[in-house]
A and B are shown apart, each in its own frame.
Chain A
Amino acid sequence: MHLNTIRKLTVSACLAATLYAGSALPAFAQDAAPTLDTGDTAWMLISTAIVLMMSIPGLALFYGGMVRKKNVLSVLMATFATVCLMSVLWVIAGYSLAFSDGGAYQHYIGGLSKAMFAGIGKDSLQGTIPELVFATFQMTFAAITPALIIGSIVDRMKFSSLLIFMALWLFVVYVPVCHWVWGGGFLGNDGVLDFAGGTVVHINAGIAGLVACLVLGRRSGYGTENMAPFNLVLTVIGASLLWVGWFGFNAGSALAANGTAGAAMAATQVATATAALAWMFSEWLVHGKPSVLGITSGAVAGLVAITPACGFVDVKGALIIGAAAGVGCYVMSTGVKKALRYDDSLDVFGVHAVGGIIGAVLTGVFAVEAIGGKSGLLEGNFAQVPIQVYGVLATIAWCAVATFVILMLLKVTVGIRVSPAAEVEGLDVALHGESVQ
């Protein structure tokens, strides 16, 4: 850090001396101009790669192991194809609408000035890293968020309408909410704290998942047929890859290799471990056995909940957020889901929306000024929790309505559900002409 600072100061001083010979004051003004930092850039290149690893193969395996054997490939395919499609759409207009200046509409949406990454050269900077690295890092977020929704619609959604849904959802839901929070929109301006995507990624995906499973209806045979997971070994591998990749997601959201990234990494690890144990012990207590699916689900719940908080809270806060997420998501994904009989097949709502909400609200409680420069309830800032709740509600409202409209449009036009025969046969053979033996 010291070396970097000295180097930056030296470079700026030389520049300033050349440009403003004789005047000391403008030298300090010049010092504020960002320069590329190789350490930050190296970390962000790695973060981008490991966030991609979260989706493929991480999320794909996590979900794939949980469905029945006849649908495994359809889940892997849906995840893989979504990542590909979102990457292309992000370059075409997604990044620009999320992160460029929207002029008169800046509160709600960005503009099209950076469509096709226009004007972003290899020397363009975003802070201390190349803007191309920033845009690609954000691309991996835009890829995993829609992919998370797949967990609620497995075994029964048409692949063609899935692709159309994902494309529309990116532009109508993800991009605006991303802009509201991180791109200069109204939620960020109003002080909503979301370090790595509690609202943008997890509440968004979780609410969309709930709406999607309600519009689609339950899997045929739900509640009567055996829908036990095909292979939990895949799920364990997937959850573990998600965990490792999440360091890129959370610590990478510092956009620098610095103390904030370190704080985010530590908070992420402790919250995840705590949530995994909390889910495991809850299940042990209620059902009599600690399960592999339980502990991995708990870990993901912890990762989700610490996402908005990780750059703002210390490890004590992370511990409590993890425990709350482990128990809260367990209750929602087992008891409540069973009681209400909605078929959120792989618990996108129960884990991502619930975990995201717990994390976003508790960020307002446990934010520590010494970590992220913002105080929470415990440090006497009573205003932060209501602001967090406002951010959560705005995200839920927009996401729920927009997702519902998109799905209803698809339902009355191209149709969203496969034929009953295809569902019985399994989507691997019916949709993709392949199968796992």
Chain B
Amino acid sequence: MKLITAIIKPFKLEEVRSALTDHGLQGMTVTEVKGYGRQKGHTEIYRGSEYAVNFLPKIKVEVVVPSDEVDKALDAIQKAAKTGQIGDGKIFVSPVEHTVRIRTGEADENAL
């Protein structure tokens, strides 16, 4: 099993969600986050006072998938979240040791 963590532009969330659902993946966890990469932040000006806004709002999508479905999922997320502009985000993949469904006690891939 792999944990896919995708940092995406907030307005791309719905497209990413439906792309993953179309590939048969059930469930995901979404968090509103702030951060920056190469895009950096921007400046805001209020009555002549400039403030650097370094951290931009992003959405973090977390989804755990069986190892053999990782590529499919990565492909779906990348296609859906891409605008071609700087700041589209990143996707991280990491191993998951164990999974339990709380209601039934099912484990690992049966719990996904």
Q: Which A residues contact B (CB, under 8 angstroms)? A: 226-229, 287, 289, 291, 293-294, 297, 333-335, 337-338, 347
Contact = CB atoms under 8 A, between A and B. Distances in A.
A291 B48 contact: no
A163 B48 CA distance: 31
A338 B46 CA distance: 12
A367 B107 CA distance: 86
A347 B44 contact: no
B45 interface: yes
B51 A226 contact: yes
A291 B46 contact: yes
A293 B46 contact: yes
A335 B48 contact: yes
B50 to A, nearest CB: 9
B1 to A, nearest CB: 37
A227 B47 contact: no
Contacts of A335: 48
A216 B45 CA distance: 25
Contacts of A337: 47-48
Q: Is the interface of A mostly helix, strand, loop or mixed?
A: helix
B47 A334 contact: yes
Interface string B80-108: 00000000000000000000000000000
Contacts of B45: 287, 289, 291
A338 B51 contact: no
Interface centre among B45, B47, B48 (most CB of A within 10 A): B47
A227 B46 CA distance: 9
A294 B51 contact: no
8 tightest Cβ-Cβ pairs between the two chains A and B:
A334-B48, A226-B51, A228-B51, A287-B45, A334-B47, A333-B47, A338-B48, A293-B46
Contacts of A293: 46-47
A26 B48 CA distance: 65
23 contacts: A226-B51, A226-B52, A226-B53, A227-B49, A227-B51, A228-B44, A228-B46, A228-B51, A287-B45, A287-B48, A289-B45, A291-B45, A291-B46, A293-B46, A297-B47, A333-B47, A334-B47, A334-B48, A335-B48, A337-B47, A338-B48, A338-B49, A347-B47
Contacts of B53: 226, 228
A233 to B, nearest CB: 14
Contacts of B49: 227, 334, 338
Contacts of A294: 47
Contacts of A289: 45
Interface in B41-72: 44-49, 51-53
B84 to A, nearest CB: 25
A291 B49 CA distance: 12
Contacts of A297: 47
A297 B49 CA distance: 14
A209 to B, nearest CB: 15
B100 to A, nearest CB: 34
A347 B47 CA distance: 9
A134 B73 CA distance: 74
Given A228-B46, A297-B47, 6 more contacts: A228-B51, A291-B45, A294-B47, A333-B47, A337-B48, A347-B47
A19 to B, nearest CB: 63
Contacts of B47: 293-294, 297, 333-334, 337, 347
A108 to B, nearest CB: 38
A282 B52 CA distance: 22
Interface centre among B44, B52, B53 (most CB of A within 10 A): B44
B29 to A, nearest CB: 23
A229 B46 contact: yes
A421 to B, nearest CB: 24
A283 to B, nearest CB: 8
Nearest to A346: B47
Contacts of A338: 48-49
A317 to B, nearest CB: 27
Nearest to A222: B49
Nearest to A297: B47
A229 B49 CA distance: 11
B49 to A, nearest CB: 7
B57 to A, nearest CB: 14
B48 A333 contact: yes
A287 B44 CA distance: 10
Nearest to B45: A287
A347 B49 CA distance: 12
A183 B49 CA distance: 41
A287 B46 CA distance: 10
Nearest to A288: B45
Nearest to A336: B48
A151 B44 CA distance: 21
A297 B46 CA distance: 11
A51 B47 CA distance: 27
A127 B88 CA distance: 69
Nearest to A229: B46
B72 to A, nearest CB: 40
